[in-house]
Structure 1
């Protein structure tokens, strides 16, 4: 049953409001709930439905056409701009108080760096963050979700459509002169899950950051990639250092593969228990690392994960870390962990009982969940 809707957001509502002096005054003074109440007036709908903008009209069309069966969750994805934030709050109020179109939960999510005034940020981070945000919602709600890609930048349509197809999620769009939304046809592409698994050792390095330094080791790995994967990566320079980054379409590919794994493969897999005691390896000369291990009782904590055979310290620093995410990445036949604590950072290598790429993915997910719950 479809009960969750993701909607991209643009500026059409703001543009339309700006043409009406009364509505514009409410918007500029940030009396957004009062403005939402005005927009809910049937008189506006009857006299000038287009005043409501692409987002409201398309969401209400999806409801009227019966494409969503229960109105539980509505997510608005807004740009990283002042206009995006204000329009998001206005849409939230509108669908909170609407008699015919309200949802149980309406949430606005700002997409970091999705701002077309900063072209480089938009290209390198914004579109990928949009894909990540959509993917997180889709992971939470699964096949009960649909996407409305009507609002926002034109580039969002292509990525929303590609992600929807990769995750088998319907995508809807309302053209300006169309009275209702339409379901967009699929793009001429398909997800090659095996290709993702075959090159997981390379692809997973781009998780979180999205770009890494193009070292000789990375260059050698890139050179042997299947040619079907190379369009998913871009190159650039930062402070005269060459880097390689995941493109927005590369992010779509990875998120789609992860979703396929979680929905169709994960529950069929299991990890063997280690045969011997856990090995926790570190040098006594690394006093600071040793203090973190003892203070946070790391050895006993990792023993609880019975598929881990060995944990060894690769380095660390004493700099206090706050608010920085821990990282877990697959690198070849081992898993790397960057563990941030108030006492400093530890760089760990982990060997597990995983015997293939899918089991490595499962091990990674279990370690991520464990670390996030314990640190």
Structure 2
């Protein structure tokens, strides 16, 4: 069975050491490196060291039968990293798409809305993937810590395997399934409450 691999994207491609743009720091508002230079560097880089995402996908042995969905934050550097990764895997013949998680960024004001967008996008991807006969897998290595936590919870509720790979490890960690399940009947019985909590800003 082909796999739909949903991968959250962080900025390790930019911020890790041992690359021509080493020292890049968003807190200083450093300019992004040239996209063509990064793409060229990625083609020859060791996947285990290039970024958190490539390290995880290396361990998953991603191939042309798989489909990749890179989820990135609503920031210029998040989009930049996702686009460079998408280009890398597309050139290898892997079907790939990028999805922006609206409002997910460094500001606390919209972060909750961004996490809600993450839930919506992820559920939609899983539904579409299953309709196509694909096995969904979540790569929860890159991105904000809260983003990774939410992805793990979504995986538990939807019965989707969640994998993780720390930068110091070469072996994939398959996160244990949480003892949770989704009871649609509860939502139906309390529809007014869920409509209210979904619409209110808090």
* Contact 2:101-2:117 at 8 Å conserved across structures: yes
Structure 2: how far apart are the matches of 1:199 and 1:130?
23
Residues 337-368 of structure 1 show CA distances to partners (whole Å, capped at 9, x for unaligned) of xxxxxxxxxxxxxxxxxxxxxxxxxxxxxxxx
Task: Tell me which residue corresponds to 2:91.
Answer: 97
**What is the CA–CA distance in structure 2 between the aligned matches of 1:171 and 1:29, rounded to whole Å?**
31
| Residue 267 of structure 1: aligned partner | none
* Alignment partner of 1:82 is 2:93: no
What is the TM-score when the length of structure 1 is the normalising length?
Answer: 0.47
TM-score, length basis structure 2? 0.83
**Residue 65 of structure 2, aligned match among 59, 64, 70:** 70
What is the CA distance between 1:136 and its match in structure 2?
1.0
Q: Does 1:194 align with 2:185?
A: yes
Q: CA deviation at 1:2?
A: 3.4
Give the structure with the larger strand fraction: 1
Deviation at 1:198, TM superposition (A): 1.3
Match runs of 1:1-375 below 5 Å: 1-16=1-16, 19-21=18-20, 28-30=32-34, 32-41=35-44, 44-45=45-46, 49-50=48-49, 52-63=50-61, 70-71=65-66, 73-98=67-92, 102-103=93-94, 105-116=95-106, 118-122=107-111, 124-142=112-130, 144-205=135-196, 210-212=198-200, 236=202
Q: Tell me the CA shift for residue 107 of structure 1.
A: 0.9
When residues 148 and 49 of structure 1 are mapped into structure 2, their CA distance, relative to the original with a 3 A threshold, is closer
Distance 1:193 1:134 in 2: 18
CA contact (8 A) 1:33 1:94 kept: no
How many residues are matched? 193
In structure 2, how many angstroms separate the alpha carbons of the residues matched to 1:171 and 1:76? 15
Higher gyration radius (CA): 1
Tell me the alpha carbon deviations over residues 241-293 of structure 1, each in whole angstroms, 9 at most, x when there is no partner.
xxxxxxxxxxxxxxxxxxxxxxxxxxxxxxxxxxxxxxxxxxxxxxxxxxxxx
Measure how far apart 1:171 and its partner are: 0.9
* Inter-partner Cα distance in structure 2 for 1:171 and 1:2: 16
1:15 positional shift = 0.4
- Contact 1:2 1:69 (8 Å CA) reproduced: no
User: What is the CA distance between 1:96 and its match in structure 2?
Assistant: 1.5
4+ aligned runs moved over 6 Å, structure 1: 22-25
Change beyond 3 A, Cα 1:178–1:21: closer
- For residue 119 of structure 1, give the secondary structure of its aligned residue in structure 2: coil
CA RMSD of aligned residues (A): 2.6
**Greater RCO (Cα-Cα under 8 Å, separation 6 or more):** 2
**Distance of 1:55 and 1:140 partners within structure 2:** 22
Structure 2 segments unaligned to the other structure (5+ residues)? 25-30
